Amino acid sequence: MTNKSMTTSTDLLKNKLLTLVTQEMLTPLTSVMGMASVLNQEIYGPLTDKQREYVEVINERSRYLRSLVEQIIALAKLDESGQNLEKTPVDVKNLCQQIVRDLEPETVYRQVEFHVLGGGGDRKIGLFDKEILEQTLYNLIYSVIQSAGSGSEVKLHLSEKQEELNVAVWVSHPLLGDNLPHTQLYSQKLSAIEQNSNSSLTLNRLQLTFAELKEIIFEEMPKQGENVTANPTRDLLALLFCCQLAEQQGGSLWIQGSAESGYRYILVLPLSK
């Protein structure tokens, strides 16, 4: 057996094991959520205000954990399916709203509001591989929510332009204005783009390729034996995975804006009508 085939076989085995373990996690999680729901309905007696508060926390975090487990299972399925895209009509706006509902425990926990803007009501925007598109959008939205500060609004805007679907995501804060909390990661490249721009009216765009983004995120990683506090957080890893999935679909991830107007992520995916 060649090294390549051995690696492929090992990866398949790891994926199957991961799927099995995560599926096993769903059963006790569902039980915890069921018992918390019973307590919340006060079937076995009234709850104090503090007890009701704790039960609600259990409910929120359990829903969030279940969402993570389901995402892990979906990721394992994506690895097994390889690069084959199975395109079907997808209502992207409804898909985004569904993802936001799944992430509601996280937005409540972080005291962040989320608004989905644009996109025709029940109109099918285009043909996509729904599972891969869902993973792409989930990781982008999750990354921005995780990095947004308390009291912020995360906004997502959908639009079509030249046979492309554009998904813009940014953070709006009443004191800090519109911007991305990750901006400092790209500060040098963004400054260079703005200095070379001939027009202040042009919204500068920086493309984030998977290879470059990976280098940016991991360049501060500690070497073996060093302090590990500089490890990239899950929001950055989710952003990295979003970039990888976008490229897998023939799309790209950009940062658009300026220091004055603020920056936003732009996910660009080709439309299939």
Give 107-125 pLDDT, tens digit per residue.
888 899 999 987 554 455 6
The number of angstroms, rounded, from the C-alpha of 207 to the middle of its chain's C-alpha atoms is 18
Average confidence (pLDDT) over 231-255: 85
pLDDT band, residue 133 (cuts 50/70/90): very high
Residue-range domain boundaries for the chain: 3-81, 87-270
Cβ neighbourhood burial of 97 (10 Å; 0-12, 13-18, 19+) = middle
Is residue 251 within 8 A of residue 267, CB to CB? The reply is yes
- Is the per-residue pLDDT at 222 higher than 50? no
Q: Which is more confident, 3 or 162?
A: 162
The pLDDT assigned to 229 comes to 40
- Is the per-residue pLDDT at 15 higher than 70? no
Average confidence (pLDDT) over 197-203: 56
| pLDDT, the chain, mean | 79
DSSP string over 54-122: HHHHHHHHHHHHHHHHHHHHHHHHHHHHTT---EEEE-HHHHHHHHHHHTHHHHHHTT-EEEEEES-SS
The percent of residues above 70 in pLDDT, for the chain, comes to 76
According to the CATH classification, is domain 87-270 in 1.10.10.10?
A: no
- Is the per-residue pLDDT at 225 higher than 50? no
State residue 23 phi and psi, 5-degree precision.
-65, -35
Confidence (pTM): 0.73
pLDDT band, residue 79 (cuts 50/70/90): low
